Amino acid sequence: MEKQGLTILLAAPRGFCAGVDRAIQIVELALAKYGAPVYVRHEIVHNRYVVEGLRAKGAVFVDELDEIPDDGCPVIFSAHGVPKTVPEAARERAMFFIDATCPLVSKVHREAERHFKNGRQLVLIGHKGHPEVVGTMGQLPPGAVILIETAADVQALEVADADNLAYCTQTTLSVDDTASVVEALKRRFPAIEGPHKEDICYATTNRQAAVKAIAQKCEALIVIGAPNSSNSNRLVEVARNHGCGKAMLVQRAAEIDWTWFEGVRTLGLTAGASAPDALIDEVIEAARERFALVLKEVRIIDENVTFKVPGVLAA
């Protein structure tokens, strides 16, 4: 039987960002330099395939430092950043730790500290309980940061001094939703200080813009990423909000129910910042087995950001 035709519009940029690339390199270089085990606090990035791959090479993933024995082996903090209490506890135990926090997350940490030093109350826009939010809030003493998630939360805000406020954001939020939260903040507190727009990083911004560029042309769209990956979930929302109602998050090709795509002639495909190319290729190959495939990349911008690994691991 002849295969049904399917065009895949491949969003670009997609997949790994510079911070994820650096974080994974840090674990790999530490394994090569010091041997196994290398401990990693939290998933180095939110992707099971990446985590399993590193585990197979000798990385040991833990939720908290108290699960790690005092054996002198390196301890790596994940790309999402950690509260100040984590390096403090590591220092107290004389652990050899290497921080894989993305430099763009660390930049937000420093902004938060600067506002606090200048006596401003800090409002953080982010998702409650996400490790990056826990890390950013943990740069300041308990109670110093008020977390909000939506524009509706702005109305309920109770602040000590409306003229002495600042805001920061999580790096992986929806660009559009965050713009409306920032607008609500500025409307209610005209003197509030903050970044030029928000702290959403280049990779999050570009991946969302690339989805917007294809969403209307696609009858369905697949985002490759993990359920706990903030930036990946935002890509599904962006697709749905920009004309592609049939958008779904998948971790691996094996999860895809291809009957879902009956009658679909144009499928959008992208991947979150923590999803490796191997998983994108896997989905393309699975589609090729079932359809007469035409692959078209739609690139909206070239990325050339790279981050150096910490000096202790540099060649």
With contact defined as beta carbons under 8 Å apart, do 198 and 125 qualify?
Answer: yes
Using alpha carbons, select from 65, 5, 84, 20 the residue that is nearest to residue 225.
20
From ligand SF4, ligand 0K2, none, which one binds at residue 18 (CB under 5 to 8 Å depending on kind)? ligand SF4
- The piece of 4-12, 58-66, 215-223, 269-277 that touches ligand 0K2 (CB under 6 A) is 269-277
Max CA pair span of the chain: 71
102 is a contact residue toward ligand SF4 (CB under 6 A): yes
Q: Please tell me the count of residues contacting ligand SF4 according to CB under 6 A.
A: 15
45 is a contact residue toward ligand 0K2 (CB under 6 A): yes
13 is a contact residue toward ligand SF4 (CB under 6 A): no
Q: Which residue is nearest to ligand 0K2 (CB)?
A: 229
From ligand 0K2, ligand SF4, none, which one binds at residue 229 (CB under 5 to 8 Å depending on kind)? ligand 0K2
Q: Answer yes or no: is 127 a known binding residue.
A: no
Q: Taking the complex as a whole, how short is the minimal distance between the CB of residue 15 and ligand 0K2, in angstroms?
A: 11
Using alpha carbons, select from 305, 308, 283 the residue that is nearest to residue 293.
283
With contact defined as beta carbons under 8 Å apart, do 225 and 233 qualify?
Answer: yes
> According to CB under 6 A, which residues from 131 to 190 bind ligand SF4?
171-172
Q: Which is nearer to ligand SF4, 79 or 168 (CB)?
A: 79
Q: Answer yes or no: is 180 a known binding residue.
A: no
Amino acid at 259: T
From ligand 0K2, ligand SF4, none, which one binds at residue 224 (CB under 5 to 8 Å depending on kind)? none
Using alpha carbons, select from 50, 34, 96 the residue that is nearest to residue 70.
96
CA–CA dist 65, 239 (Å, integer): 38
Q: Answer yes or no: is 164 a known binding residue.
A: no
Locate the DSSP E strands across the chain: 4-12, 38-41, 59-62, 75-77, 97-99, 121-125, 145-148, 165-169, 220-224, 247-250, 266-271, 291-299
92 is catalytic: no
Q: C-alpha distances in angstroms, 95 versus 69, 78, 309? A: 10, 16, 19
> According to CB under 6 A, which residues from 216 to 255 bind ligand 0K2?
229-232
Concatenate the DSSP letters of all residues of 71-86 into one string. Answer: S---EEE-TT---THH
Q: Answer yes or no: is 229 a known binding residue.
A: yes
Q: Which is nearer to ligand 0K2, 105 or 269 (CB)?
A: 105
- Residue spans of alpha helices (H) in 69-196: 85-92, 103-117, 131-137, 151-156, 175-188
Catalytic residue among 43, 132, 183, 297: 132
- The piece of 6-14, 34-42, 186-194, 196-204 that touches ligand SF4 (CB under 6 A) is 196-204
Four-point Cα dihedral 217, 220, 224, 227, nearest 10: 130
List residues with catalytic annotation. Answer: 132
Instruction: Give contact residues for ligand 0K2 (rule: CB under 6 A).
Output: 19-20, 45-46, 79-80, 102, 105, 132, 171-172, 229-232, 272-274
Chain residues binding ligand SF4 by CB under 6 A are 17-20, 79, 102, 104-105, 171-172, 201, 203-204, 231, 273
